[in-house]
Amino acid sequence: MRKTIIQGSITVLLFFGTWFALTQIDWVKVFNVQKVTDKTEQKLGELFWEVFKKTENESTKAPVVNAIDSIVTHICTSNAIDRKKVKVHVLNKDEVNAFALPNGHLIVYTGLIVNSDSQEELTGVICHELAHIELNHVMKKLVKEIGLSVLISMTTGNGGPEVIKQAAKMLSSSAFDRGLEKEADIKAVDYLIQAKVNPELFAEFLYKLSDKENDALKYLTWVSTHPDSKERAEYIIEYSKGKTADYKPILSKEKWENLKAELGTE
Amino acid sequence: MIHSKQFSYEPGEHEAETASSSYLMSLIAIVVGLPLPIINLIATLVFYMGNRKSTYFVRWHCTQALLSQLSMLFINSFGFWWTVSILFTDETITSKYIAYIMAAFIFNVTEFIATIYTAIQTRKGIHVEWWFYGPLTNIVCKS
């Protein structure tokens, strides 16, 4: 009996020992797993962006594109984010929405710009989406919602256009997990403070848009898909307390007004 | 790891054939049910149930085959569900996972080779006792 127990224990130890010994090697690096994952993300980003490019109208107006580009560049340089990684697209659509696609594609609808009373509000939403990109939330959500196997089949051309369309729609019109949203909000506050943008105005934007009496509610995709805006506004204010900095607008007053005027609001 | 021992009696031709089949059963099941590790366990279990009342030599080898499958079930099931969670949830491929699959693979191959060897030997009527499973079978299976 004793011999059996000893032999059994040695067998179990041998297995775990083998496992432990093998974990000492960085297999992810050896097998280039990261490279494969990056390639999948890159391909998915292209596929999803194609869907929006075909169905929506991309804004090419210089004041609009330049202004959004200035905001994104400023946030990236202040927070050591690789600017080249982020691909910004402004789409002409009334919906108050902004979202991230795989491989750093950031989509901003003109409806969001129009409905932002100040550039800080718009910057806050952009920071939130940039946080989703930087924290790799987009791929996490995709894998969770549709699974790695389907994602890989999409990149190899076996996904079918309808599946790709559905997945792209899901990314533009549904929120992440509560935990991920909060993580992105907190990260956004950090980004804003580093970029010397007042985060309280971002919180106020959430308060404002969560107001049910707002006429444009039907267009408020960004808020309706991100639940508990009031709660989010509260923890944003709470988190940004005591983190005050010397706030400065990113865009000049003239540039911001030009942007709004270009979109026909002023 | 594997010892050829003298059995308490000389098994007959038919006994050797049936005992050898119990190992072959798990080999065939591995090929058929590789993605689902429970299949080989079920196969050996069915074979074991069918030969419960057979001679001691046959029962002994059916038991050893079954017990060896049981431990592989734990290793393979864990690897199987880990893989499923990577494919369908937000779990990612880590070095730990790859190392586990490798360790599981090494153990599976070892078991596979041992099973083939034992199937051949028992077919010749030679009694083979495995490391750990042999003494364990001696406890479980009484004449």
Strands A87-91 and A98-101: unpaired
Q: Do B131 and A25 touch (CB under 8 A)?
A: no
Global pTM?
A: 0.65
Tokens 């005992």, located at residue: B19
Element (H, E) at B4: strand B2-5
Pair A89, A52: CB distance under 8 Å: yes
- Tell me the three state secondary structure of residue A262: helix
| Assembly ipTM | 0.85
Q: Do A27 and B99 touch (CB under 8 A)?
A: yes
Q: Do A19 and B103 touch (CB under 8 A)?
A: yes
Element (H, E) at A218: none
The one-character DSSP state at B34 is: T
In chain A, what's the furthest Cα-to-Cα distance?
Answer: 88
Chain B residues within 8 Å of chain A (Cβ atoms): 71, 75, 86-90, 92-96, 98-100, 102-103, 106-107, 131-132, 135-136, 139
* Burial class of residue A165, CB neighbours in 10 A (0-12, 13-18, 19+): middle
Tokens 């779990």, located at residue: B91
Select from B95, B103, B136 the Cβ nearest to the Cβ of A4: B136
Pair B72, B40: CB distance under 8 Å: yes
> What is the identity of the amino acid at B59?
R
Q: Do A27 and B95 touch (CB under 8 A)?
A: yes
pLDDT number for residue A215: 53
Residue B16 CA to its chain's centroid (Å): 17
Q: How many CB atoms lie within 10 A of CB A54?
A: 8
Q: In chain A, what residues touch B106 (CB-CB under 8 Å)?
A: 18
Q: What is the least distance, in Å, from the CA of B72 to any CA of chain A?
A: 11
Distances (CA, A) of A201 to A14, A123, A239: 59, 10, 13
Q: In chain A, what residues touch B99 (CB-CB under 8 Å)?
A: 19, 22-23, 25, 27
A223 has pLDDT over 70: no
Q: Do A28 and B99 touch (CB under 8 A)?
A: no
Over residues A167-192, the pLDDT tens digits come to 888 888 777 777 888 889 999 999 99
Pair B27, B9: CB distance under 8 Å: no
- Residues in contact with A136: Cβ distance below 8 Å, sequence separation at least 6, in sequence order: none
Over residues B67-87, the pLDDT tens digits come to 888 888 888 889 988 988 887
pLDDT number for residue A105: 94
Q: Do B103 and A15 touch (CB under 8 A)?
A: yes
